[in-house]
Amino acid sequence: MLIYPNSNRKSPPSIIRKNEIFNWYNGDVWQREVGANMHILVVDDDPAITEMVAILLETDGYEVSACAHGDAVLPLYRAQRPDLVLLDVMLPGMDGVSVARALREESDVPIIMMSAKTDSVDVIAGLEAGADDYVTKPFENSVLLARIKARLRRQEPESDTLKIADLVIDPKAHEVRRGDEVLHLTPLEFDLLKVLASKPYQVFTREELLEQVWGYRHSSDTRLVNVHIQRLRAKVEKDPENPEVVLTVRGVGYRAGSTEQ
């Protein structure tokens, strides 16, 4: 089980080592190494949820760190560089939305928000701040694991470049260019753009994008798609209010812009 530390340390150590336990601003941080597998940071101030999620993830073969205070997340992330952050919306200190925004300013690490069903406004705020996905509490173990695996999956990159409007996508280099300019996208934003560019004449419904980019099946919640399309447009469009790269087909979904510029 997770261990609850009693330390009164008020500032984070410069290096957080494997299995080190410390307390910062009453925010408890734990880690238990379970092998050289992918590493997930769980951020939640409910010890019962934290322990349940940690056991679930460790049983599935992940290495797990956990902290209970928003102010402890960035130092822990910088020290350990987890492969994914599972982040609660409501936290003491820095709230989950602010943590997501701060993480996204310095990293492309996949972020999955955790929220009660009544926190729909906070969920949207978290997605707009840079979170890739979310789960609602209480969640089924299989749903949480599926969301995590979808964000951590590693696919063999295609060798051929793709074009969408005036952009060139290089899947092998995981790079998007407009002329000599390289556009910085998160892995999820890159996948979303690549799916649209892969079939330039097809209109993708939001449900199809949820399945192909997020790995969802039979989901009716299209907020993920809408928010991430907005974030993608902010990065790839010359004028996001008049998009040329990612076009909306009213009442249907989205498609790639013409490559004839």
Q: Give me the mean pLDDT over the 108-120 stretch.
A: 84
Question: Pick from 25, 16, 29, 32: which is nearest to 78 by CA?
Answer: 16
**Is 122 strand, coil or helix?**
helix
Alpha helix positions (H), 23-182: 47-59, 73-80, 96-106, 120-129, 141-152
At 39 the pLDDT is: 95
User: Which of 214-218, 222-226, 249-253 is predicted least confidently?
Assistant: 214-218
Global pTM reads 0.75
State how far the Cα of 194 lies from the Cα of 176, in Å rounded to an integer: 10
Tell me the β-bridge partners of 167: 164
pLDDT band at residue 2 using 50, 70 and 90 as cut-offs: very low
Domains by residue range for the chain, with CATH? 22-152 (3.40.50.2300), 162-256 (1.10.10.10)
State how far the Cα of 175 lies from the Cα of 158, in Å rounded to an integer: 12
Q: Which segment, 1-15, 36-50, 176-190, is predicted with the most confidence on average?
A: 176-190
Identify the residue whose tokens are 């199809």.
208
At 219 the pLDDT is: 66
Q: Give me the mean pLDDT over the 105-111 stretch.
A: 94
At 229 the pLDDT is: 96
**Could you report the per-residue pLDDT of 128-187, keeping only the tens digit for each?**
999 999 998 888 999 999 999 989 886 555 668 899 989 999 988 889 999 999 999 999
CA distances from 197 to 80, 109, 176, 211, 233 (A): 35, 23, 12, 16, 14
User: Which of 17-21, 87-91, 195-199 is predicted least confidently?
Assistant: 17-21
For residue 152, what are its two tokens? Answer: 């951590």
CA distances from 176 to 23, 24, 165, 204 (A): 42, 40, 12, 21
Q: Give me the mean pLDDT over the 16-24 stretch.
A: 34
Q: Give me the mean pLDDT over the 197-225 stretch.
A: 86
- Say if residue 234's pLDDT is above 80: yes
